[in-house]
Structure 1
């Protein structure tokens, strides 16, 4: 076809026009679309966004449908900068858009997009205006979705800068890459698989992901992978809500996850892969460290959130460091339920960004399966701030493994672990890495309803408990604990107070437990004693124990205590050593007490009402030692227990059956050889009872003697007690039941008398002396039985006493001092008023109690010595009795036919080593009163050996002489005493007076008067009466009266004077009593002085010394009254001098004085006294009450007397003058009775202070007086 034919063809022409039209359209599009799109695009975009939008350049190729935009920018709200900038947008359209009537794009490429966002405040951003416009547009009803097909969507080089002014940080996204190969919702393209990819670097951390999905298919099937590498969480911490009880401080996230989503027929999401958090640090609400760990890796096999199922292959925690604290209020930092509520609006404003969660229906519980949980290199630090110092404990190198975890629990999970335990703050272990640390291993199984744990603790230091004990104990605690424990728990019904916890102890050891340090010694005033040893032990071991917290029962299989030692002490302040160990914690501050109270109320649990029940199968103590010291009394108590062995079986606090008990120990006191004690029997607590065989060898009873100082009148220096037999004790409701049967002995007894202090001083007036001594006292066949309501029975088969010594004194009342070894329970006059009412009841009870039944077998005495003194007769008789050997036959307290059973007594020996002694007769020491009929004889006793006694009591030595004495004592059953004492002194001769002797008697004259022409003094002293009230009748022997007169001449001369002149009250003649403040003799004083004057005139060899006495305190008021009376009398004397008439009348009123020639005494009548007192008051130079014009006003008589006496000075010199005046008054009166002046002497006056100083005592009932004393020329 040629060209003409072609032009003529209609189809050719049409094709040409189409081509031309297309070319024209391309030309128009190429020329018109870019400027139009730029201008209209900027305009429309600016209107839609409300921001200035600029486009740098537009390039459109209509023949290929390629559109390129460069430098697209969206300005900030203020127009000063760029909010968004895109370097280049390339769109490759497809002609299929015309065929499918839907946008079909073969490719979109966005290069170098850059977005800048600013957070201005909480919930407000710099693009809020744009978002508001979008919200308004989105409120329009949505139309039918637009179909599209997008291929090869690529975003390269993107960046995002997010500046947060609230938290002051900037987040940066760099290298943002997005690749979506295909995306379409066309019906024919919905099931096409899409594999998008997203990657970027966030603040230096790389994120990469890939996916395969059919997002617009009906199943929405999607599979995606996400990878995070080293995402540091620090920049995002400010966005966490402030209300969280736990705050994240640092952390790095790594993840490699795979997500699978499918919606056919229901939605399904499956997540798998690993997530790891590294270098995480968590803090509590107070920003204190709570938890930190090196890495937490979770490997997920299949996690389906929508189905609430999770299968986790492993959870691995490496290097965790958990800090558990308890604050001073008692709150745990892990107890978030009691944490203070967070503020409604947080400081950083993050809480304002969080909208409240919408309510949702209760979902089904999660089903979680974890194949393995592993913790490695863990640390747990415990700090308790409720103690002072703060308690600190650390678990280090913690290893924990668990497997088979399934929630809800289908089967128990199995777990195990181990750790090292350290005391002190974190890091302390590094300083002492070489030191041995305790370890903990554990393992078990658990469900949500039960758990069982087996733990093994090795060498746990007991010092860990020191901070908890420091508030209550002064000493610390040392030692190590090792234990194998089992703890079982079972869930209890809701609302139950039970814990469901049971603890089993397979084996528990305390190695070297002891209290250490601390100020635990009670200081005795004036003494410094070393610190006592604190309690401790070599080892305490407990095995097969079971503790039920709900049943409150403790069952111990075996308890073994090895080498325990304790020092039991009580100081002079009567406080035991443990009282010094205990502390009384200071009160906490008010705010802390309030916080503790609120916390306690939130955790309040009703207390248990059932007591704890404790049972022990076997208790053993081996090698125990006890040191006992008691300084509470006047004399300390000290003894030591060593080699203590105890074996107790089947023991329970509430058991009704006795428990077998074996005890053995050595008991020592002082330097003596320790004794031995062994017991093998049973012990019961309900009721208290003990029964078994007791074997004691030489127990030092002297160690316990100070406890009986208030009961006994002896000082036990040594006594070794032994016993071998059976004992039984039962504490019944009616009283104790006691049975003792066996042989006993008391060896090496040394008992002294009690030193009696002089009155008013602490120095002993009667020194202690040996009272009892013996080598051995053997009591065989002892059988004692005591039972409430029944008579006490005592049977003794035989008794032997060898090598004994006794100091025997018959006191003036006829009682033997050995009968008074026990002090009276209530001294006379010492009973308190409150106890007086109880005395009749006690007396009735004692009277109603049956009398004891005592049977004593034969008693043998071998080689004894008795220092005997008889103060019952006058003069006293003393003798040393040696080589005493004798026997007393059996006797009993039971009186057959009403008559006491009398035992035969035979005793022989030597008296003073020179005279023979023989005592025979019958007696019954158990009879009440004492029944006896005894004859004693001493012949030819040389008296010179008794010269020390003679010098002591008479002041003269005995040069020669012998004495023989026969005594016969008979005490009838009715208590009547008949005593015959015949004393014969032959050729008694005294020497000259011994200088410095304590006494001096005119014995030579007494001997000359008493002795017959042959030099023999024979005194026969018959005595009869009652033992309780002895009546002494003077016999025919006049010499006894002479001796009594001689004794009285020394001890009570004025009593002798009174008796000699037929008077009485001789003790009053040596004292002349005056009125307080006065030196005037009373009529009674003159009568007594008349007798003294008669004695002095009839005995010129006597001399009398008068000493006046006065007391400032006792006579202050009397002295002032006497001085006031003297001032009144002086005022009257002044008037008499001025008015002679009054002087004559006054003299007539006292005729007796005038007649005697003495100066007439001035007397003041009652009628004269008021007027004279006013004149004295008027003339007195004292401060007086004044009236308004300044003159002294009249006041009542009592006030005048009080005012005048208050201004009378009273000094010690005034008292000395008063005492001197009293002495002169007595002397002058005796002189007026014709007593020669050479027999009267005036001594130096004495005040009360002077007398107290000279005598060492002060009489509280002091009476004004003058003392008289006699002496020979």
Structure 2
């Protein structure tokens, strides 16, 4: 046999062996296929299900199993897994597996595709115990089993349902995802793709959409997750502690781009993501009553970035559009929202930290607020205070990076409907950047307020003053600085104005009104509190001051008591305070009838008004009392300590006295018919010592009818004033005052009245001293002496009568009573007849009085001014005519 023949025979032998081997393999494969085709369904439905059920302690029911072994396909229908109590755990309607026969010969099991139709997963967390689905996980007890290598090229899930019940709280929480579907490509221990999509319907119309990748070695996930229109009230139910506020409505949308690694440690990175809240409604529960406190149309954060465990977060923009917020302060002065957020006190239990704490740090690059209304109601004031702010527009944009993060703030809003508010400034944030020390927050910016009605603030003003505020508006423009704990903690510089202001007493009477109050160059600061003003102009103020029936001034009751320990009095300095066209009305109800007068056309200024008392204030004011009587006040005074230093002068001219008649009726017992007053008052105080010079001139003065006042002084005021008149009919008084203001019992006006009363008393007691200075002593002034047995006037007596007549002629209101006298021991009649002697002396006394009368009349005294009294003949040594001054 040739070599070629031998080779040919060998080839044929090998071919026969190969064919035999292939036949055996084919027979084995056909046997396996036939076994799977005919025995696998029964084994899966019964044996495998029973083994798994026994091992896991669950019930497994399989409707049927079908195979197409030659095609490498298995289908399982109607699977339901239940726990020991019969409650469902999971199941599906159909499971279709398409496997690769070749993978059975490979170390990697390969499923070409898996399709699950109508899966249902039931998660339940009982009050005690783990999640029920954990029963399906094999026990960790026993020897470790090597996990097989596997590969699933495509997984499709459709018509899925997932439900979750949390029974740890009552009522129990529930959650469901319906009609969800999942597609997954190339997943397994050998996966390098893991592309997936998940879509489903959440409760209350919300949706779930996710596209991304999943890796198993290590376990990682990345992709885009969008949760749309989640019900906010339902979502918040899953918080471990309920919020103190009731979320009645609202939707939450999350749009996240993320990367996450679960092994070997958890790390999450979120970038270019967004969060939006819409149609949110917040309410507060108060004694079973639900009150709305806020509604939000849209709150959106864009460009969100988040890192865990780095603790870094950021947002490119935060925008709030369309919101309405209500803030309320209860009758005890506490904010109801803060009380609600605080909630009841809870005991805190400290537990050891299982992981290091994370220092969260981040920033918002830009923020905007649009169409926001804020309502404020304060029930602690009387009347209640109601304010509104909005619609409000706010934008916040980061500025160039410095050692501290700063934000440019711009705000525009209406206030109480008609007023406007604008703010433009810079806000410094506490530094959160690495390697930088902590920075103190600050604000610096321009604030403008225009035409802010003050009436809504009446309740706040009533906390300090017992007044009503029916009208007035405020405008302000200035620079505000704020920073703590630096000193000053805040500072304001700018201008302000109040217009059309009206203030009433608490009982409704007019107190103060003004056309405008302009404040220029206002500089104020806190800690320490200081206020400096360049100029204040008060235009057309009208102030009403009233003296009550009890003698107190109405102004004294305006300031309500306050705790002086709450703070110190601010240091206030005003360079110039000017008044233009002012009126001060004064009414006195402590006298009857009541008295009223007014100082009008008041103009002038106070210079260097220093309420700290470091320097004296210069005063220069001028106004007019009724009948165009001018009043001028000039001088200096220590505004804080007037009892330490004062040097003031008050001058008035041609002041009509009849309007002051109620005072005269009350204190003097007579009304005033006529009179004009000139006054020059000078008061000087130095270290409590008063030195006052008061010069008063009254002309054309006439008393009126007597009153029945019980407070009348009882002094001879009519006679005294008549005697005090000079030859021109004027009364001129110098009333010096001395005293110590440091003496608590010292009072100026009682001292003035006492001084005037002493003048009146002395005038009535020694009237002839005021009638031309006829003698150096009272006796000579009141007597005209005669020679014995004579009724003739001596030359000195005639001269005295002439001078007295001149004084009486200037005082026609006075009456002069003449009392003739005779003396039995000196005026002797030759007749020894006693009756004739008596008659002689009587006639002699009468003749003496007539002689004085005739002399007076000859000197120009009107007859009606002279009164002859009954002559007196006595044994006393009297050879005179006595004179007495009186009024009719």
Shorter chain as denominator, the TM-score bin is 0.7 to 0.9
Counterpart Cα distance in 2 of 1:303 and 1:757: 89
- Say whether residues 1:509 and 2:497 are aligned partners: yes
Contact 2:89/2:132 (<8 A) preserved: no
TM-score for the superposition, normalised by structure 1: 0.54
Please point out which of 516, 523, 530 is paired with 1:553: 530
- Partner residue, 1:137: 139
- Partner residue, 1:329: 332
Residue 918 and residue 244 in structure 1: after superposition, are their counterparts in 2 closer, same or farther (change >3 A)?
farther
- Partner residue, 2:368: 374
Please point out which of 371, 377, 388 is paired with 1:394: 388
Counterpart Cα distance in 1 of 2:174 and 2:263: 43
Q: Which digits, 9 at most, give the CA deviation of each residue in 1:423-453, with x for residues without a partner?
A: xxxxxxxxxxxxx612211121122322224
Residue 410 and residue 305 in structure 1: after superposition, are their counterparts in 2 closer, same or farther (change >3 A)?
farther
Residue 617 and residue 20 in structure 1: after superposition, are their counterparts in 2 closer, same or farther (change >3 A)?
same
Contact 2:721/2:731 (<8 A) preserved: no
Please point out which of 631, 644, 663 is paired with 1:677: 631
- Partner residue, 2:50: 43
Counterpart Cα distance in 2 of 1:723 and 1:1014: 52
SS at match of 1:466: helix
- Partner residue, 1:730: 684
| CA apart distance, 1:362 | 3.5
Counterpart Cα distance in 2 of 1:981 and 1:97: 175
Q: Matches of residues 520-539 of structure 1 in structure 2 within 5 Å?
A: 520=508, 532-539=509-516
Counterpart Cα distance in 1 of 2:309 and 2:702: 98
SS at match of 2:118: strand
Counterpart Cα distance in 2 of 1:710 and 1:918: 48
- Say whether residues 1:160 and 2:162 are aligned partners: yes
Q: Which digits, 9 at most, give the CA deviation of each residue in 1:341-366, with x for residues without a partner?
A: 36689xxxxxxxx9989553243341
Counterpart Cα distance in 2 of 1:17 and 1:819: 152
Counterpart Cα distance in 2 of 1:920 and 1:93: 162
- Partner residue, 2:117: 111
Residue 692 and residue 1018 in structure 1: after superposition, are their counterparts in 2 closer, same or farther (change >3 A)?
closer
SS at match of 2:513: coil
Counterpart Cα distance in 1 of 2:139 and 2:77: 28
Q: Matches of residues 545-624 of structure 1 in structure 2 within 5 Å?
A: 545-578=522-555, 607-608=566-567, 610-624=568-582
- Say whether residues 1:696 and 2:652 are aligned partners: yes
Q: Matches of residues 1212-1231 of structure 1 in structure 2 within 5 Å?
A: none
- Partner residue, 2:437: none
- Partner residue, 2:521: 544
| CA apart distance, 1:182 | 1.1
- Partner residue, 2:250: 251
Counterpart Cα distance in 2 of 1:705 and 1:356: 86
Counterpart Cα distance in 2 of 1:378 and 1:653: 42
| CA apart distance, 1:29 | 1.7
Contact 2:62/2:79 (<8 A) preserved: yes
- Say whether residues 1:492 and 2:485 are aligned partners: yes
- Partner residue, 1:662: 620
| CA apart distance, 1:966 | 7.8
Counterpart Cα distance in 2 of 1:130 and 1:696: 102
Contact 1:465/1:477 (<8 A) preserved: no
| CA apart distance, 1:199 | 1.0
Q: Matches of residues 172-183 of structure 1 in structure 2 within 5 Å?
A: 172-183=176-187
| CA apart distance, 1:404 | 0.2
| CA apart distance, 1:713 | 7.3
Q: Which digits, 9 at most, give the CA deviation of each residue in 1:13-71, with x for residues without a partner?
A: 33223222221221122111110111023212322443321111111233333211011
Q: Which digits, 9 at most, give the CA deviation of each residue in 1:224-275, with x for residues without a partner?
A: 0112332222333433344534443322122332113479999562322222
- Partner residue, 1:959: none
Residue 755 and residue 477 in structure 1: after superposition, are their counterparts in 2 closer, same or farther (change >3 A)?
closer
Please point out which of 448, 459, 465 is paired with 2:457: 465
| CA apart distance, 1:380 | 1.2
Please point out which of 309, 316, 321 is paired with 1:318: 321
Residue 419 and residue 679 in structure 1: after superposition, are their counterparts in 2 closer, same or farther (change >3 A)?
same
Residue 168 and residue 11 in structure 1: after superposition, are their counterparts in 2 closer, same or farther (change >3 A)?
closer
Could you say which structure has the higher strand fraction?
2
| CA apart distance, 1:124 | 5.5
Contact 2:845/2:873 (<8 A) preserved: no
Number of positions where the alignment pairs a residue of Structure 1 with one of Structure 2: 782
Counterpart Cα distance in 2 of 1:443 and 1:141: 72
Residue 357 and residue 466 in structure 1: after superposition, are their counterparts in 2 closer, same or farther (change >3 A)?
farther
Contact 1:635/1:706 (<8 A) preserved: yes
Counterpart Cα distance in 1 of 2:490 and 2:97: 76
Counterpart Cα distance in 1 of 2:659 and 2:236: 76
Structure 1: state its 5+ residue gaps: 346-353, 423-435, 521-531, 586-603, 790-817, 825-867, 873-880, 892-899, 906-916, 924-932, 940-948, 950-962, 969-977, 983-1006, 1022-1033, 1042-1273
Residue 937 and residue 776 in structure 1: after superposition, are their counterparts in 2 closer, same or farther (change >3 A)?
closer
Residue 616 and residue 394 in structure 1: after superposition, are their counterparts in 2 closer, same or farther (change >3 A)?
same
Q: Which digits, 9 at most, give the CA deviation of each residue in 1:434-492, with x for residues without a partner?
A: xx612211121122322224322222221222233456636344211111243322221
Counterpart Cα distance in 2 of 1:205 and 1:407: 41
- Partner residue, 2:148: 146
SS at match of 1:307: coil
Residue 463 and residue 58 in structure 1: after superposition, are their counterparts in 2 closer, same or farther (change >3 A)?
same
Residue 247 and residue 921 in structure 1: after superposition, are their counterparts in 2 closer, same or farther (change >3 A)?
farther
- Say whether residues 1:748 and 2:742 are aligned partners: no
Q: From the CA coordinates, give the structure whose radius of gyration is larger.
A: 1
Please point out which of 710, 714, 720 is paired with 2:676: 720
Counterpart Cα distance in 2 of 1:756 and 1:507: 57
- Say whether residues 1:281 and 2:292 are aligned partners: no
Contact 2:497/2:518 (<8 A) preserved: yes
Counterpart Cα distance in 2 of 1:143 and 1:822: 128
Counterpart Cα distance in 2 of 1:215 and 1:386: 63
Q: Matches of residues 754-1153 of structure 1 in structure 2 within 5 Å?
A: 772=722, 822=760, 1018=846, 1037=874
Please point out which of 291, 295, 305 is paired with 2:294: 291
- Partner residue, 2:608: 650
Counterpart Cα distance in 2 of 1:242 and 1:784: 83
- Partner residue, 2:5: none
- Say whether residues 1:446 and 2:427 are aligned partners: yes
- Partner residue, 1:383: 377
Contact 1:205/1:230 (<8 A) preserved: yes
Counterpart Cα distance in 1 of 2:103 and 2:339: 62
Counterpart Cα distance in 1 of 2:36 and 2:413: 80
| CA apart distance, 1:174 | 1.6
Higher normalized contact order (CA 8 Å, seq sep 6+, divided by chain length):
2
- Partner residue, 1:93: 99
- Partner residue, 1:426: none
Please point out which of 431, 443, 447 is paired with 1:455: 447
Q: Which digits, 9 at most, give the CA deviation of each residue in 1:992-1017, with x for residues without a partner?
A: xxxxxxxxxxxxxxx99975699876
- Partner residue, 1:194: 194
| CA apart distance, 1:565 | 1.1
| CA apart distance, 1:637 | 3.4
TM-score for the superposition, normalised by structure 2: 0.75
**Aligned alpha-carbon RMSD (Å):** 5.2
- Say whether residues 1:412 and 2:406 are aligned partners: yes
Structure 2: state its 5+ residue gaps: 1-7, 431-439, 741-755, 782-792, 807-814, 828-834, 850-870, 879-888
Q: Which digits, 9 at most, give the CA deviation of each residue in 1:893-930, with x for residues without a partner?
A: xxxxxxx899x99xxxxxxxxxxx9998899xxxxxxx
Contact 1:629/1:636 (<8 A) preserved: yes
- Partner residue, 1:171: 175
| CA apart distance, 1:1039 | 13
Contact 1:539/1:563 (<8 A) preserved: yes
- Partner residue, 2:476: 483
- Partner residue, 1:260: 259
- Partner residue, 1:67: 74
**Greater CA deviation, 284-293 or 1012-1021?**
1012-1021
Residue 584 and residue 412 in structure 1: after superposition, are their counterparts in 2 closer, same or farther (change >3 A)?
closer
| CA apart distance, 1:157 | 0.9
Q: Which digits, 9 at most, give the CA deviation of each residue in 1:814-845, with x for residues without a partner?
A: xxxx9965469xxxxxxxxxxxxxxxxxxxxx
Counterpart Cα distance in 2 of 1:1036 and 1:8: 196
